[in-house]
Amino acid sequence: RRFVFAFNEGDKDQRELLGGKGAGLAEMTNLGLPVPPGFTVSTEACRYYLSQGELPPSLAAEIDAHLKRLEAERGKRLGAAEDPMLVSVRSGAKFSMPGMMETVLDIGLNDASVVGLAKATGSERFAWDSYRRLIQMFGSTVLGIDAARFGAVLDDAERANGAAGDLDLDTDALRGVVKAYKGIVRDTTGRDFPQEPREQLDMAVRAVFRSWNTERARIYRRQERIPHDLGTAVNVMAMVYGNLGPDSGTGVAFTRDPATGAPGVYGDYLSEAQGEDVVAGIRSPVPLEDLEQLDPASFTELRRIMAMLEGHYRDLCDIEFTIERGKLWMLQTRVGKRTAAAAFRMAIQFLDDGLIDVGEALARVTGDQLAQLMFPQFDPGFEAKPIATGVPASPGAAVGTAVFDSATAAQTGGKVILVRRETSPDDLPGIIAAEGILTSRGGKTSHAAVVARGMGKTCVVGADDLEIDTDQRRLTTADGVVVREGDTISIDGTSGCVYAGTIDVVPSPVVEYFEGRLDVDEHRRDPVVQAVSRMMIYADEHRRLGVHANADTADDAKRARRFGADGIGLCRTEHMFLGERRHHVEALILAETAAERDKVLAELLPMQLGDFVGIFTEMDGLPVTIRLIDPPLHEFLPDLTELSVKVALAEARGEVDEGDVRLLRAVKRLHEQNPMLGLRGVRLGLVVPGLVAMQVRAIAEAAAARIRAGDDPRPEIMVPLIGGTEEFELMREEIERVLHDVAEATGIEVRAKIGTMIELPRAALTAGRISRHAEFFSFGTNDLTQTTWGFSRDDVEGSFFPAYLEKGIFVTSPFESLDEEGVGRLVSIAVEEGRAARENLLIGVCGEHGGDPSSVHFFDRIGLDYVSCSPFRVPIARLEAGRAAV
């Protein structure tokens, strides 16, 4: 098997094998762009190395052969004493993991070749600068030496030479730095810095492979849901030098603004610098536009290439480039990460430009991105004056207490804003924990900006008026305002403004649009709202799945309808028993005679009836699936322990309250060890006489009233938690009897579908028998997940789930995204066998999964008729249903 591929042997679709970086370099090479030559060691070699603990035996010979070709092409030899070729060794996995893994530049330098490089380029300073970079990078990434030790030496040298930064160090100073660096290597590793170029190369390749499994890379993958078994590729590439004098430099750029999606050229450029300097925030880069003045020829060439790449990839590209003495080199390209707003806007732009079709446009936005756009924003009417302004790197409104290091941010919990001079990959846990990120250095392409955008977190970078003092745990503004750790600040990732204190937030314009609260002008003015509204139209045109809402009140029903629901898929009637109606339920439970019970039920009837009238009115003409009472009755009673204590105390005082004593008896009688597996759902309906009859009567009378008013109510009556068909048939008889009685009494026949939830494995496995009697199924995937796995949804989060996620037993909680393999199999069986027995069986899902993007795709695939989710998730499900269909 081959493990090594020259850049001209691959293409952009081989990200799996070559990694994203390798595939991009191959594609650019094939397009004839100026890419330094090189080759890619495949992810397969990485997987081999990680599983076997050694490189594939054939790899050394393959690398030898490719290195020869590279040397022939450059007319130089790796690390030769005269005019040496240097290479970079770069990591690059299928999915970009910014800064998570390692890259080593300037491989091939040693005590002899540094002299050769100086002679060949005519710049001693450059050669020694490159050598110190190599030892620094190699030392920290390959040899595992704490990077701070090298940083301290450099700082000392700058201080000793009165230098303001690395640029001011002259050749002698840099020689001194190299000597000190070599000392560090010898002291910490017990051996000299390896002088043999090929050994440097091999060690670097292994280090890149190993970096796949560093703690921070694992944390990042868990957060981004990237599988742990992909491995990384390694790219070996001839060096070009951005640190070769003032007509050299390096930069990063986007073909459009990745924060807003606005067209134009966005990026950062840094003269006299090598690679990492731009993102690391060592020196502040200048905006890319300035390159037009600095080097007009390269700027024009760069813009031409960027336009070409965008047209070729038909998408936003982000690129890395280096200019060596006026010659432009392309070092990386990939489809760029973007914010949610930018994703929607750009999909519409590319669609309108004819570069992509509607299906592709839908594929480029996600329900998660839409969810982000529905978060609240700062109230535009507020009067506060910002204490500082930075670069808006990732939009949103974040309010929280300022925290000045990542460990504290991760421990504090609650809402925090991570404030740093700049962030590095080590800050990842803090970034994950924070509501927002604020830095004083770096641009739109800095580490903080890239990571925050990827995670959809609010981020402001480069607020350079801020003096951030990590040791003292405070920041100071240009006006002398001081914010200490624990003080609240607000940051606006859309404007870049930073405020002291709390700024009120308002609903997002996208939600205002869904709510129908924007007028035509407002709508037109907001490009994001426009893009979203068009995308929703496309999604609705294409989707096969219906989208219903879970709604228990007339208000919820109204919102659901505004948000585009095709009906109500789950109306939970027990919510109608809460609040001030609770004591009626209590009375029902305490009733000792049939007469007492009937009296309470008669009191409850008009209340339920009123609720249903309200809901039917809002949902006129659309189906409303009403679930009969489901939860265990003890949920309506006081807590056993509390009540026992109360009664005991009262007794001790000699003030016995007969009511409480009676209540306590009932609570004890109903107490269950496992209430979720106890007297609830259909079981309740079957053993508490009159309860279901009352509910069905309320539904039927409400529907009759709406019919009389000229409406078209469409109730569907749903029986929860059945394990088999016998329970359902008994319920069905009672429901039909009541419907019949109401029809007799009112003279109006209400036609209601009668169906059941499928939320127990046994029901799923006997679905063929059940569907002979049921007109519809609705999967209650929360209970089905809990009973299939056998773990309690109410307890797992604080218990063993964190460990399970950590161990990779699942990547996502099965309560969030449907476990397709297990729970999904039960769902598939029930769909198949249910439909085999009743062809037109209507099938939906009403668990939380109905609004989960990846689960929606699964439900579409197995042929469900609709999903049902909370009103706010209805647009998200509509969008995902559209995406699933294209």
All residues at 6 or more sequence positions from 391 whose CB lies less than 8 Å from its CB, including other chains: 442, 443, 444, 449, 460, 461, 462, 463, 496
Q: How many residues bind ligand ADP (CB under 6 A)?
A: 16
Q: Rule CB under 5 A: say whether 268 interacts with Mg ion.
A: no
Residue 577: DSSP 8-state: G
Minimum distance from CB of 37 to ligand ADP (Å)? 10
Q: Rule CB under 6 A: say whether 35 interacts with ligand ADP.
A: no
15 to 18, 50, 92, 360, 776: CA distances (angstroms): 5, 19, 9, 20, 44
Give the position of tokens 């760029």. Answer: 336
Secondary element (H or E) of residue 878 = helix 874-885
Q: Tell me how far apart the alpha carbons of residues 596 and 870 are, in angstroms, rounded to a whole number.
A: 37
Q: Restricting to residues 482-521, name those near Mg ion by CB under 5 A.
A: none
Burial class of 189 by CB neighbour count within 10 A (0 to 12, 13 to 18, 19+): middle
Direct distance between the N- and C-terminal alpha carbons of the chain, in angstroms, rounded to an integer: 37
Choosing from 102, 257, 324, 759, the residue that interacts with Mg ion (CB under 5 A) is: 759
Q: Rule CB under 5 A: say whether 257 interacts with Mg ion.
A: no
Select from Mg ion, ligand ADP, none the partner in contact with residue 275, using the beta carbon and a kind-dependent cut-off of 5 to 8 Å: ligand ADP
Q: Rule CB under 5 A: say whether 848 interacts with Mg ion.
A: no
Is the CB of residue 454 less than 8 Å from the CB of residue 414?
no
Backbone angles phi, psi at 231, to 5 degrees: 75, 165
Q: Rule CB under 6 A: say whether 275 interacts with ligand ADP.
A: yes
> Which is closer to ligand ADP, CB of 99 or CB of 429?
99
* C-alpha neighbours within 13 Å on the C-beta side of residue 566: 15
Choosing from 135, 240, 362, 739, the residue that interacts with ligand ADP (CB under 6 A) is: 240
Q: Rule CB under 6 A: say whether 90 interacts with ligand ADP.
A: yes
Select from Mg ion, ligand ADP, none the partner in contact with residue 759, using the beta carbon and a kind-dependent cut-off of 5 to 8 Å: Mg ion
Q: What is the dihedral of CA 417, 418, 420, 422, to 10 degrees?
A: -110
Closest by CA position to 494, among listed 372, 346, 317: 372
Minimum distance from CB of 839 to ligand ADP (Å)? 55
Choosing from 35, 185, 237, 316, the residue that interacts with ligand ADP (CB under 6 A) is: 237
Q: Restricting to residues 466-485, name those near Mg ion by CB under 5 A.
A: none
Q: Rule CB under 6 A: say whether 67 interacts with ligand ADP.
A: no
Choosing from 239, 624, 705, 742, the residue that interacts with ligand ADP (CB under 6 A) is: 239
Select from ligand ADP, Mg ion, none the partner in contact with residue 498, using the beta carbon and a kind-dependent cut-off of 5 to 8 Å: none
Burial class of 687 by CB neighbour count within 10 A (0 to 12, 13 to 18, 19+): exposed
Q: Restricting to residues 308-347, name those near Mg ion by CB under 5 A.
A: 332
Minimum distance from CB of 698 to Mg ion (Å)? 21
Q: Rule CB under 6 A: say whether 88 interacts with ligand ADP.
A: yes
Closest by CA position to 503, among listed 375, 373, 379: 379
Q: Which residue is nearest to Mg ion (CB)?
A: 783
Choices 155-163, 407-415, 570-578, 759-767 (CB under 5 A): range interacting with Mg ion: 759-767
Q: Restricting to residues 101-160, name those near ligand ADP by CB under 6 A.
A: 103, 105
Q: What tokens appear for 818 in the block?
A: 């449907």
Q: Rule CB under 6 A: say whether 320 interacts with ligand ADP.
A: yes
- Which of 447, 773, 849, 857 is flagged as catalytic? 447
Q: How many residues bind Mg ion (CB under 5 A)?
A: 4
46 is catalytic: no
Choosing from 14, 110, 136, 332, the residue that interacts with ligand ADP (CB under 6 A) is: 332
745 to 382, 704, 750: CA distances (angstroms): 59, 10, 12
Q: Restricting to residues 764-793, name those near Mg ion by CB under 5 A.
A: 780, 783
Is the CB of residue 871 less than 8 Å from the CB of residue 852?
no
494 to 392, 395, 398: CA distances (angstroms): 5, 4, 11
> Which is closer to Mg ion, CB of 399 or CB of 576?
576
Q: Rule CB under 6 A: say whether 99 interacts with ligand ADP.
A: yes
Is the CB of residue 419 less than 8 Å from the CB of residue 468?
yes
Minimum distance from CB of 636 to Mg ion (Å)? 17
Is the CB of residue 668 less than 8 Å from the CB of residue 640?
yes
Minimum distance from CB of 233 to ligand ADP (Å)? 11
869 is catalytic: no
* 761-766-768 Cα angle (round to 5): 135
Instruction: List active site positions.
Output: 447, 846
Residues engaged in binding ligand ADP (CB under 6 A): 36, 88, 90, 99, 103, 105, 237-240, 275-276, 320, 322, 331-332
Footprint of Mg ion (CB under 5 A):
332, 759, 780, 783
